Structure formats: C-alpha cells, structure tokens
C-alpha cells in the first residue's frame, strides 16, 4: 500500500517490588529491591541513555520508589537496615553470629544459576564447596571461613550487577578479574558503588522523562488490586464458577482505593515534578468501576491485558461474534460514564510474552529479527488508512536474569532496530492521546474505539485467578478483611494519636498489596511461597501491634505450602504469561 501509515509501538516496562521492610523494626526482610536496582533499573536506564532515538514508557510503583529512597538514605547516614548489605560492609566476618552466617549461606546463591552463577568460575567454585558441606543432609557450614563468606558476599553482588556496570565500571572489572581473596577494602568499595547506583536512579529516570525520551506512569501506591478492593464479585466476570472469600466484600474498599490513588499522585509529583498522566493498574487489573474511579482522580490513560479486551468486547456486544484479534487489538479504547472517561491500551500478549519467556532462549539477533518481522507482518496486513498502535507491556525487571548478559545485547539491538525502522515509530501513551485529541496537529491518524462494558480481569489470563478463587488465596483475603475490621473499630474509638493512626494506615496499605496473594497457592515454588507467606503474616501481625490489639493465634500458622517440585519452573513464578 502506497503511503501506508506507520506502525506505532509503545514499549511499556513495569517496575515493581512490594515493601520488604518490617514496619516495626525498619529492617529489610528480603533484598530484592536493591538487587534489582543495581541490575535491572540501572541497565534499563542505560539503554535509553545510549540510544537517544529510542522512546519507551516506564511504570514505577510508588512503594518501590519509597524503598529506593530509603536505601539511598541508608547509605547517606550509614544506618544500614538491610542485613545483607550490612554484612557486605562488616569488617570482620570471622566473628559474626551463627544466624548471620546462615543468612549469607541462605541468601547468596539465590539467582538463576544458568546465567548468574555458572558463567563465573570463582562463584561456581564457592557453590560447589557449599554443596559438598551440605550433601546427604549434613550441615558442616561451621567450617566455612571468614574469607569464604567475604568472597561469597562479593560474588553475590557482582552476579547481581547490571551488565552496563560490568562493562563500564573499573572497580567491578577489577573485582571480577581478581576473583577471590577479596579484602575489606574491596568489599567497602563495592558497598559504596551499590550506594552510588541506587542514589542515581530516580534522577536518571527523571532526566530521561524531562527530555521526552520516556514517559513515567504510576500505580496505586502500595500495588493493591483495585477491582477486588471495590467488589469481590467482579471475579465472576471472567471466572463464573469461582469460589470467593467468606467475607462478602472488603470493608471500606472504595475509600481505600481512593487513598492509594491519591498517594500515588502525590508521590509521582514529588519525585518527577508532575502528576502522572497514566497509570498501570496493579497487575493490569481493571473493572469499569475501578477505571472510572481512576478517571475521576485525574488519570488520563490506563492499560491492561489482551484477555480483558477480548472479554470486554464480548460483554459489550454479546450477540456479535468476536472478529480476528488483528481487527480489534491495535488501537486504544475509551471507557466513559458520561462524566468521567479514560483511554485504555491493551497489550499484545503474544509479543509481550515472547520477550518475557521466549527470546531469552535465542541469540539476540535472532530474537530481534523475529520481533521486527512480527511487527512488519502486523504493518503489512493492517490494511487501513490509520496507524496501528501495538502495545508491548511486561515486567521490566524479572525477565533479564534469564537472558545472557542480563539482556544487554537483546535490548541494545532491539532499540536500534525499532528506532531506525522506516515503517515503525516508537511512541508513548500520552503521545498517542495527543494524536487522538488533536488530529489536525499531527501527521498520525489513530482510531480510538469505545467500550460500553468492561469484563473485570487482569493481564494474567484476563482474570483474577492469580489472586483470588483458591482456598489459600481466599483465606489470605479473609485474614485481611478480619484485620481491616479491627482497624476500622480502633480508628473509630479514637484511641490512637495522629502519628499512631498514620503508622497503622501505612501498615494496612502494605497488607493490601497484590503480591501476597500472587504467591499463595500450591503451584508456586515452596521456598518463594514460604518467604512471602511469612512476610504477609508478619505484616498482619505488625498491623495488630500498631493497633495495640492482641495478635490472633491463627496468624502463627502458614497459609500456603507451595510446591517443592515447582522450584525450577520458568521464571520461578515471578512472571506469568498473558494467556494460558
């Protein structure tokens, strides 16, 4: 077709970690926030800095940003609240406690070994020594020296270091070349580098946003699933036979949803100098009520999964057969009630999941060629005098450890291919909105559809099955509902001071996050389930402590056991495909 309109691609990377802090002690229970910071958040900024022609969107969940700022403050003040970081900077590892020795052993081999341990012979040698001392059920770790622990701590952080840092930082190159017998000075230098990387992150992304190269969106502050806070019954839109929690609905859910939205807007403005135009609803979870609530709070655009769009089209036109995905997927849709409206983008599940699950197994050039050829096929067969809008949306942090070199060569080649393709234009969601709202001021023509109904669901399978509907997940919700009722009763009594109310509200917000329910269930790896199960119950216990109430005895019992055979499953449960 002559003068066929360009294909517009919106790459949208979602960055999220739940709050890993114990609210009472302030100590970090798990290290994933700072490890992803030095690896993935650093690398993802670097790729945009190295290719100014590339343009993408990032979603940063406010509770992740809270933790990044907290870590930066720890390095400034020297009051370290993460036990692994504290041990990295501990002067004498020969005299640490047995509990600290076990923490190093239990923590410092947690990674995808194929790409993050085996490529480093000195690190792998430490692992083989550990295996020898623990084979046949033995526990002879007392024989591990302080030097062994020092080397293990250094290699753990080197393995989690971003490839952009490895290739450009002299200290990291020196330590990797040295390989063993790391000194206290080596460890302190590495510790300082971790602090520098974390402290620079938010300013780096803000600078990229100010140049217009990226758009940064937000998420309800503590990552709750808004549709479920509003109404458990929305589960039945995509799961008609699902069993729901015993509690009919989450108490006061609408008010809590608004609080999360307002807090997110304030967080974004304080960090990036402006309110977010768009939001990624936690887990891409939407209902018509939640979308209109977001619109009422000033959010202009949101995004979700392809399954939600297909189900919503069926719900909007129940007597009309669904046409080919090619005919409905590649455009945004408006949702309105006559007063408030919001524009929704829906991810191409196939393309998004190729990056998340398939391309890590291919050579970078082969993977990029496949991606570009898929886009070219969409472009060549679209057959309309309007620009197709392809939304590729996925986790921006957990996929890369399964790629060689943390996805460095894949992302470098992908951005270069997209930025220089004659028939493809990289865009942000807000740019697409401008094309729709002011067509006379742009060479692009984007058609925006309308959805009269929304079938509630998420980016995972188009349903809420990952967070509700099983025995374990429902019990997790019932525990939260029980705690919320206690919270409401205490606040109504007026027994707490303003500061105590604030701390209790923050703790409730942590408990409302989606991650706890994600991990509950017998299909997840047992070790991960145990970590998140314990942290969720710990958070609920801390809420009762802050409310000055007795802790219910049943919170001492595990909610979910997980599957001991699931440990080696694809991506270890940190990501899920859009379609089953």
DSSP strands (E only) in 427-547: 449-450
List Cα–Cα distances, 360 to 364, 367, 568, in angstroms: 8, 8, 16
Name every residue whose Cβ is closer than 8 Å to that of residue 357 and which is 6 or more positions away in sequence: 399, 570, 571, 575, 577
Buried/exposed code over 85-111 (b: 16+ C-beta within 10 A; e: otherwise) = bbbbbbeebeeeeeebbebbbebbbbb
Which residue has better confidence, 572 or 488? 488
Tokens of 151: 């080397």
d(CA 205, CA 565): 39
Nearest partner of 289 among 238, 233, 332, 244, judged by Cα: 233
Strands across the sheet containing 278-279: 278-279, 301-304, 341-346, 333-336, 449-450
Q: Which CATH number fits domain 7-16+219-450: 3.90.226.10, 3.30.390.10, 3.40.50.300, 3.20.110.10?
A: 3.20.110.10
Distance of CA 252 to the CA centre of its chain: 26
DSSP strands (E only) in 82-235: 214-217
Q: Tell me, what's the pLDDT at 517?
A: 95
Contact 221, 63 (CB under 8 A): yes
d(CA 331, CA 346): 8
Tokens of 481: 């509902």
Largest pairwise CA distance in the chain: 75
Name every residue whose Cβ is closer than 8 Å to that of residue 386 and which is 6 or more positions away in sequence: 5, 331, 445, 446, 447
Q: Tell me, what's the pLDDT at 409?
A: 98
136: left (phi over 0), alpha (psi -120 to 50) or beta: left
Question: Per-residue confidence at 578, pLDDT binned at 50, 70, 90?
Answer: low
Question: Per-residue confidence at 461, pLDDT binned at 50, 70, 90?
Answer: very high
d(CA 154, CA 190): 8
DSSP states of 388-422 as a string? -EEEEEEESSSSGGGSGGGGHHHHHHHHHHHHT-T
pLDDT at 402 over 90: yes
Contact 21, 70 (CB under 8 A): yes
Question: Per-residue confidence at 580, pLDDT binned at 50, 70, 90?
Answer: low
pLDDT, tens only, 24-61: 999 999 999 999 999 999 999 999 999 999 999 999 99
Q: Do domains 7-16+219-450 and 471-562 have the same CATH topology?
A: no
Element (H, E) at 572: none
Q: Mean pLDDT over all residues of the chain?
A: 95
Q: What is the DSSP letter of 17?
A: -
Question: Per-residue confidence at 1, pLDDT binned at 50, 70, 90?
Answer: very low
Q: Is 79 helix (H, G, I), strand (E, B) or coil?
A: coil
Contact 396, 14 (CB under 8 A): yes
Pairing of strands 7-15, 56-60: parallel
Percent of the chain topping pLDDT 70: 97
pLDDT at 355 over 70: yes
Tokens of 192: 């300082």
Nearest partner of 250 among 273, 228, 222, 272, judged by Cα: 228
- H-only helix segments in 345-403: 349-353, 364-381
Q: Tell me, what's the pLDDT at 139?
A: 75
Q: Is 372 exposed, middle or buried (0-12, 13-18, 19+ CB in 10 A)?
A: middle
Q: Domain spans of the chain?
A: 7-16+219-450, 68-201, 471-562
pLDDT at 534 over 70: yes
Buried/exposed code over 217-239 (b: 16+ C-beta within 10 A; e: otherwise) = bbbbbbbbbbbbbbbbebbbbbb
Contact 76, 196 (CB under 8 A): no
Q: Which CATH architecture has domain 471-562?
A: Up-down Bundle (1.20)
pLDDT, tens only, 325-350: 999 999 999 999 999 999 999 999 99
List Cα–Cα distances, 244 to 469, 536, 558, in angstroms: 5, 20, 20
Contact 372, 37 (CB under 8 A): no
Q: What is the DSSP letter of 299?
A: -
pLDDT, tens only, 217-254: 999 999 999 999 999 999 999 999 999 999 999 999 99
Q: Tell me, what's the pLDDT at 566?
A: 58
Name every residue whose Cβ is closer than 8 Å to that of residue 11 and which is 6 or more positions away in sequence: 56, 57, 392, 418, 426
The residue-averaged pLDDT of 521-538 equals 88
Q: Tell me, what's the pLDDT at 430?
A: 98
Name every residue whose Cβ is closer than 8 Å to that of residue 306 and which is 6 or more positions away in sequence: 325, 329, 346, 347, 348, 349, 462, 578, 579
Q: Is 503 helix (H, G, I), strand (E, B) or coil?
A: helix
Question: Per-residue confidence at 574, pLDDT binned at 50, 70, 90?
Answer: low
pTM confidence score: 0.95
């Amino acid at each position: 077709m002559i003068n066929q309109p360009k294909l517009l691609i919106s790459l949208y990377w979602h960055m999220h970690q739940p709050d890993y802090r114990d609210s009472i002690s302030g100590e970090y229970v798990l290290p994933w926030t700072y490890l992803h910071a030095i690896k993935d958040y650093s690398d993802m900024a670097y790729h945009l800095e190295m290719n100014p022609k590339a343009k993408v969107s990032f979603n940063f969940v406010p509770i992740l940003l809270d933790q990044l700022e907290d870590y930066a403050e720890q390095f400034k003040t020297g009051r370290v609240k993460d036990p692994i970081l504290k041990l990295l900077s501990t002067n004498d590892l020969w005299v640490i406690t047995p509990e600290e020795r076990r923490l190093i052993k239990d923590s410092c081999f947690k990674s995808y070994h194929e790409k993050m341990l085996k490529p480093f012979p000195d690190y792998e040698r430490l692992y083989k020594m550990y295996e020898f001392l623990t084979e046949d059920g033995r526990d002879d770790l007392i024989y591990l020296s302080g030097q062994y622990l020092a080397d293990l701590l250094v290699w753990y952080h080197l393995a989690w270091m971003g490839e952009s840092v490895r290739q450009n930082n002299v200290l990291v190159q020196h330590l990797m070349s040295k390989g063993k017998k790391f000194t206290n000075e080596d460890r302190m230098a590495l510790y300082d580098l971790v602090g520098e990387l974390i402290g620079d992150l938010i300013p780096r992304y803000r600078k990229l946003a100010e140049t217009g190269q990226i758009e940064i969106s937000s998420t309800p502050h503590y990552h709750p699933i808004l549709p479920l806070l509003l109404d458990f019954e929305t589960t039945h839109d995509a799961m008609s036979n699902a069993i729901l929690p015993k509690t009919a609905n989450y108490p006061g859910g609408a008010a809590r949803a608004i609080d999360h939205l307002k807090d997110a807007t304030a967080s974004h403005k304080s960090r990036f100098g402006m309110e977010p135009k768009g939001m990624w609803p936690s887990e891409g979870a939407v209902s018509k009520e939640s979308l209109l609530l977001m619109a009422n709070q000033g959010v202009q655009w949101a995004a979700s999964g392809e399954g939600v769009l297909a189900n919503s089209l069926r719900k909007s036109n129940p007597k009309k057969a669904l046409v080919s995905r090619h005919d409905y997927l590649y455009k945004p849709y408006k949702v309105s009630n006559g007063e408030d409206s919001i524009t929704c983008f829906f991810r191409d599940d196939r393309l998004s999941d190729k990056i998340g699950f398939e391309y890590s197994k291919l050579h970078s050039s082969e993977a990029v060629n496949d991606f570009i050829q898929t886009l070219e096929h969409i472009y060549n067969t679209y057959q309309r005098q309007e620009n197709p809008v392809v939304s590729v949306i996925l986790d921006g942090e957990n996929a890369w450890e399964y790629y060689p070199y943390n996805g460095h060569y894949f992302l470098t080649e992908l951005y270069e291919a997209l930025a220089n393709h004659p028939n493809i234009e990289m865009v942000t969601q807000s740019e697409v909105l401008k094309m729709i709202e002011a067509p006379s001021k742009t060479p692009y023509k984007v058609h925006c559809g309308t959805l009269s109904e929304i079938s509630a669901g998420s980016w995972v399978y188009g349903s809420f099955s990952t967070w509700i509907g099983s025995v374990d997940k429902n019990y997790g919700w019932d525990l939260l509902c029980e705690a919320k009722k206690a919270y409401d009763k205490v606040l109504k009594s007026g027994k707490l001071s303003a500061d105590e109310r604030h701390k209790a509200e923050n703790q409730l917000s942590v408990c409302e996050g989606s991650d706890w329910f994600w991990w509950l269930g017998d299909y997840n790896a047992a070790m991960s389930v145990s970590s998140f199960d314990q942290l969720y119950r710990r958070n609920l216990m801390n809420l009762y402590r802050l409310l000055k109430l007795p802790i219910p005895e049943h919170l001492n019992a595990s909610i979910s056991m997980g599957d001991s055979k699931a440990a080696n499953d694809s991506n270890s449960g940190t990501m899920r495909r859009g379609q089953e």
